Amino acid sequence: MEDLFKKLTSHCKEYGFIYPSSEIYDGLSAVYDYAPNGVELKNNIKTYWWKSMVQMHQNIVGLDAAIFMHPKTWKASGHVDAFNDPLVDNKDSKKRYRADQLIEDYLDKLEAKISKEVEKARAKFGASFDETLYRATNPRVVENKTKQDQIQKRLTDAMTSGDMAELKKIIEDCEIVDPDTGSRNWTEVRQFNLMFNTQLGNIAGEEGKLYLRPETAQGIFVNFLNVQKTTRQKIPFGIAQIGKAFRNEIVARQFIFRMREFEQMEMQFFVKPGEEMQWYEYWKEKRMNWHLALGTPASKYKFHNHENLAHYANAAVDIQFDFPFGFKELEGIHSRTDFDLKSHQELSGKKLQYFDTEANENFIPYVVETSIGCDRMFLAMLSNAYCEEEVPDAEGEASQRVVLKLHPAIAPIKCAVLPLLKNKPELVDKARTIFDELKFSFLCQYDDKDAIGRRYRRQDAIGTPYCVTIDFDTLSDETVTIRDRDTLKQERIPISAIEQIISEKIAWKNLF
């Protein structure tokens, strides 16, 4: 899997998906630029999310709030006081880690030990294997499970109460070592605020202190009444937003999985207090279906309930994805109660209440949020799509291909238009005419460089679902060959049918 991760990162660079930021100056840690194919894929992911949220729901509307917000926003939201990660340094390696993540990795290792033991027993006992009984009685499994539960509880308690000394104690008790060097020489655990800050105009000091938003949600909360009034929405209704967020992450070593500047797609759904759990369940299912509609196998996803609830939530679950480095959070679904609206109301002195005309009463709505990182979704899609394959009936270099089996709706380029030979003006002219016609419908690429096999390989590597080849028959019978990326099948079709075949395959409708 690590090998796959390395291959993916270099594929991203080589085929124009992602570059390190300011690379000529050796890059900037945990900041990346989206390259020409990357920006297309990312835009398509955003479009898919936006359409499924806003276009498909009459009661969800969009918003694009500014990144900078009044500094009091972050006081009210709790980010100034509580948006901290517990960090710990290793004195020998001088490396910095998140204490909670070191402990979670340790818990994952215990889980892996248990699973290994169970799988061994399954192989040994075959059909008669009773997993529940085995888990409850095998001494090694029971011992590891007890240890795991105890540490999980201590971690949850320490994180909830902000007890840094206890986190250090857990690290010591579990004899956790620096993953890089094996050293156990740790500093104390300290709180570290993740918000970047800057200064407004020429106002010095605290007065002019501005933060780069660490989540897009607050722009939605402070606009809640504006939106409700101007769109005349009735509860339940939602506000959706896509935008940049910034976090000064302590550990940022996993490519675009953990960045310091990233993009979120968030939707806050405002509901009647008491109805939030029903909507929480609704959005859990809806969001999982959104992922599965892209054709990714269900085994790549799982729900992970939060043991350790954030200060604002009364229920929270992650949709985890099987990334090349294991199952990790891709999206969060949180029941945020009325925490945010209530704190903004208190600090601003402005009412943020909804008037329910039927019940003839005012109340502060509860909020269920769905929050997904666009960059993590990008990484999930790439790692799921990346395939190395043998090509049947091909020889030499052409017998192997790397193909990105992206869903056609999100693939960066939809169709490549390829004249069979570059030095035949009649083929080139015809190909250009076809390209100029198709470009109005979807993103196409014209390519006449190198042998046709090579051009196919290039399109496979960026996930183009269709290649259209113009040859001498085209000139006499107005047909082309259309090649399917996944089946490698080539069919002869009339030029006039290209647009419709491709449009049907890439239609957003197929996903809803």
Query: 197: Cβ–Cβ under 8 A, 6 or more apart, which residues?
Result: 209, 210, 211, 212
Q: Is 247 an interacting residue with respect to ligand ATP (CB under 6 A)?
A: yes
The terminus-to-terminus CA distance of the chain in angstroms comes to: 32
* Interface mask toward ligand ATP for 385-424; x: CB under 6 A: ----------------------------------------
CA pair distance 407, 244, nearest whole angstrom: 25
Alpha carbon distance 261, 214 (integer Å): 9
From 17, 48, 262, 323, residue interacting with ligand ATP (rule: CB under 6 A)? 262
Q: Which is nearer to ligand ATP, 255 or 456 (CB)?
A: 255
Q: Which one of 37-45, 222-230, 370-378, 382-390 is the stretch in contact with ligand ATP (CB under 6 A)?
A: 370-378
Neighbours of 456 (CB within 10 A): 25
Binds ligand ATP (CB under 6 A): choice among 40, 276, 322, 331 = 331
From the list 142-150, 182-190, 351-359, 373-381, the region that binds ligand ATP by CB under 6 A is: 373-381
The span of 6-14, 76-84, 372-380, 423-431 binding ligand ATP (CB under 6 A) equals 372-380
Q: Which is nearer to ligand ATP, 379 or 415 (by Cβ)?
A: 379
Nearest 10 degrees: CA dihedral of 248, 252, 255, 259? Answer: -10
Is residue 259 involved in binding ligand ATP (CB under 6 A)?
Answer: yes
- Among residues 89, 166, 375, 460, the one that binds ligand ATP under rule CB under 6 A: 375
| Lookup: tokens for 184 | 């156990």
Distance set, CA 15 to CA 224, 458, 497 (Å):
42, 8, 30
Per CB under 6 A, 329 contacts ligand ATP: yes
**How far, in Å, are 57, 110, 311, 354 from residue 224 at the CA level?**
18, 44, 21, 9
CB 210 within 8 A of CB 201: no
Per CB under 6 A, the list member of 38, 219, 332, 463 interacting with ligand ATP is: 332
Q: Work out whether 367 is an interface residue with ligand ATP (CB under 6 A).
A: no
Phi, psi (deg, nearest 5) at residue 68 = -80, 135
Whole-angstrom Cα distance, residue 368 to residue 267? 8
Among the listed ranges 142-150, 231-239, 257-265, 336-344, the one in contact with ligand ATP (CB under 6 A) is 257-265
Using DSSP, state whether 319 is helix, strand or coil.
strand
Among 249, 338, 448, 471, binds ligand ATP (CB under 6 A): 249
Rounded Cα distance, 103 and 427, in Å: 63
Among 168, 258, 336, 457, binds ligand ATP (CB under 6 A): 258
Is 462 within 8 Å of 16 (Cβ atoms)?
A: yes
Q: Identify any residues that bridge with 96 across adjacent strands, giving them in sequence order.
A: 89
Minimal distance, residue 35 CB to ligand ATP, in Å: 18
Member of 37, 52, 371, 469 binding ligand ATP (CB under 6 A): 371
316: exposed, middle or buried (Cβ count in 10 Å: 0-12, 13-18, 19+): buried
Residue range at the interface with ligand ATP (CB under 6 A); choices 105-113, 365-373, 389-397, 410-418: 365-373
- Give the helix ranges, DSSP H, for 300-357: 339-348
Smallest distance, Å, CB 113 to ligand ATP? 24
Which of 260/485 has CB closer to ligand ATP? 260
Nearer of residues 111 and 119 to ligand ATP, judged by Cβ: 111
Residues interacting with ligand ATP, by CB under 6 A? Answer: 215, 247, 249, 258-259, 262, 264, 329-332, 371-373, 375-376
